[in-house]
Amino acid sequence: MNIHEYQAKELLDKFGVANSPGGVASTPEEAEKIAASLGTDQLVIKAQVHAGGRGKGTFKNGFKSGVHLCKTPAQIREVAANMLGQTLVTHQTGEDGRVVRKVLVAESVEIERELYFAVLIDRATSAPVIVASTEGGVDIEGVAEHTPEKIFHLHVDPLLGFQPYQARKLSKLLGIPTAQMKSACVLFANLYKTFIESDCSMVEVNPLVITKGGDVRALDAKFNFDDNALFRHPDIQAYRDIEEEDPREVEASKHNLSYIGLDGNIACLVNGAGLAMATMDIIKHHGGEPSNFLDVGGGATEQQVTEAFKILVADKRVKAILVNIFGGIMKCDVIAQGIINAVKAVNLPVPLVVRLEGTNVEAGRKLLAESGLKLTTATDIADAAQKVVAATA
Ligand code: ADP
Ligand code: MG
């Protein structure tokens, strides 16, 4: 799960990570009020969407940038009016962009240096790793590609935790002046603590700045949480903003379906995560692009299959559907009945290819044959993939 910057700021405050005072607003008037309450002429207003690259983004109404420095509350109000309700496109949003529903108004600082700091789980070592760079602020992906030597990795032993000597080493690598070393070390340690105690899968601060006044602060923070640990954090769960999520995934989660939306045009309904992955692979192997991952699991009910099928059919990018079931615990007749129910409710606007095998396969095939449903049957997984790719041509 992802959260907004203003929510991340609340977590940073809770863990004592220095950032910038400010508040969130949904209207230009609110934004102006917050700006006035900050009592400074150094202000910043930032569009709140679950995507980075806002500074270099552009709104569909032509307004430039999702991050503006301002001098007065009146200016903040004016910029807020240009951002709220508008769609911001950044290199992370895709061309559809994201609608801005809230803005963060905060104190701005004069920046001396912009650094990059992140904590995430390194899959190779199954342990936390700190990734940091002297080249913060702009796009870190570009730094990784062109000057990878400017990115440092520091592994943390999960049992020992982040050690003070590691904090000092990191400060040195980042060239932090002696005067700021102490506050930088405190900030690193507190960010690590935030990461562990909130069950994050990633904490990314970009930029982490040294101000002209000599402070060290986290100016922008992105958090990603391990969904499987969210039950331990009702306060973080409350940060969920379903407006920012893929509507297909929101619908699937209501029915407890393991569904991940993708960009292709071939919908897949499969039982078992392994078979679902193999199905996606073989679709790609035959030149197609899957529009989703969907594992209906072993114990899916007819109702769940119906709902799953409805999600596939409702997806405008879908040009063909592949049902690939190898019935073990899952029974083929349950799948067949689920599909028939769904088609009755929503019709079938695209070609359907079905490959059924395993438990109750004869009953399943009989149901489909007698339903009068227009579909193509396939004998095995390769045959199914070829037929569904051909159906989209
Ligand atoms: P994004 O990463 O989505 O572009 P950021 O919050 O990192 O958004 O903002 C982009 C840039 O705007 C930062 O690199 C920084 O230079 C500037 N900026 C952001 N917040 C502040 C602030 N509070 N004070 C001064 N400059 C800021
Ligand atoms: Mg940033």
Is there an atom of ligand 1 within 6 Å of 109 CB?
A: yes
- Domain 21-107 in this protein, CATH class: alpha beta
Instruction: Determine the pLDDT at residue 305.
Output: 87
Query: Of 38, 59, 117, 219, which is best to mutate to test ligand 1, by the most ligand atoms within 8 angstroms of its C-beta?
Result: 219
Is there an atom of ligand 1 within 6 Å of 55 CB?
A: yes
Instruction: Match 């009016």 to its residue by tokens.
Output: 81
307 beta partners: none
Is there an atom of ligand 1 within 6 Å of 351 CB?
A: no
224 beta partners: 2, 202
213 closest CA partner among 262, 180, 241: 180
pTM: predicted TM-score of the whole model, two decimal places? 0.83
What is the CATH number assigned to the segment(s) 111-237?
3.30.470.20
Strands ordered across the beta sheet of 320-327: 258-261, 292-295, 266-270, 320-327, 352-358, 376-377
Q: Which amino acid is at 116?
A: Y
Q: How far is the CA of 218 from the centre of ligand 2 (A)?
A: 10
Q: How many angstroms separate the CA atoms of 41 and 39, rounded? A: 7
For the chain, percent of residues with pLDDT exceeding 70: 100
Is there an atom of ligand 1 within 6 Å of 20 CB?
A: yes
Q: How far is the CA of 116 from the centre of ligand 2 (A)?
A: 9
Split at pLDDT 50, 70, 90, the class of 348 is: confident
Indicate which residue's Cα is closest to atom 20 of ligand 1.
219
pLDDT tens digit string along 16-53?
Answer: 999 999 999 999 999 999 999 999 999 999 999 999 99
pLDDT tens digit string along 186-235?
Answer: 999 999 999 999 999 999 999 999 999 999 999 999 999 999 999 999 99
Q: How far is the CA of 224 from the centre of ligand 1 (A)?
A: 19
Active site residues: 116, 204
Query: Of 9, 67, 90, 135, which is best to mutate to test ligand 1, by the most ligand atoms within 8 angstroms of its C-beta?
Result: 67
Is there an atom of ligand 1 within 6 Å of 184 CB?
A: no
Instruction: Match 């992140």 to its residue by tokens.
Output: 118
What does the mean pLDDT of the chain come to? 94
Helix axes 302-314 and 332-346, enclosed angle (nearest 10): 50
Cβ distance 374 to 348 under 8 Å? yes
Whether the pLDDT of residue 108 is over 80: the answer is: yes
Locate 207 and state its tokens.
């930029």
Q: How many angstroms separate the CA atoms of 192 and 195, rounded? A: 5
The half-sphere exposure of 15 on its side-chain side, counting CA atoms within 13 A, is: 21
Domain borders along the chain are: 21-107, 111-237, 246-391
Q: In CATH, which of 3.40.50.261, 1.20.120.450, 3.20.20.210, 3.50.30.30 is domain 246-391?
A: 3.40.50.261
Split at pLDDT 50, 70, 90, the class of 342 is: confident
Locate 269 and state its tokens.
């309904």
Instruction: Determine the pLDDT at residue 302.
Output: 85
Q: How far is the CA of 206 from the centre of ligand 2 (A)?
A: 4
Indicate which residue's Cα is closest to atom 22 of ligand 1.
108
pLDDT tens digit string along 137-175?
Answer: 877 889 999 999 999 999 999 999 999 999 999 999 999
pLDDT tens digit string along 292-331?
Answer: 999 988 788 888 888 999 999 999 999 999 999 988 888 8
